[in-house]
Amino acid sequence: MRNTDHPNHPLPSLLSPHAVLARAAEQLAGTHRGVFSVETILRYLDESYQLLAATARVTTHVPNLAVR
């Protein structure tokens, strides 16, 4: 995964969109235990991320917006 704001510099793994979304999915799964699985939450977060990133001019904070 590359940093689209700085295409010549790859993102560190902790800051990659997938890592941010995966951590958020784990946290939300704990909050919603027995209602939604981690996989379901991650699917919705990923879909939200993809929709937001498609039109974002600056993508630095899009994973955090997808979580909200």
SS3 content of the chain, % helix, strand, coil (to 5): 60, 5, 35
Q: pTM for the full model?
A: 0.72
Confidence of residue 11 (pLDDT cuts 50, 70, 90): low
Residue type, 19: A
15-50 residue pLDDT tens: 788 888 999 999 999 999 999 999 999 999 999 999
**Residue 2: predicted pLDDT:** 46
Give the range among 22-31, 47-56, 57-66 with minimum mean pLDDT: 57-66
Cα–Cα distance, 67 to 24 (Å, whole number): 7
CATH top-level class of 13-67: mainly alpha
**Angle of the 38-55 helix axis to the 17-31 helix axis, nearest 10:** 140
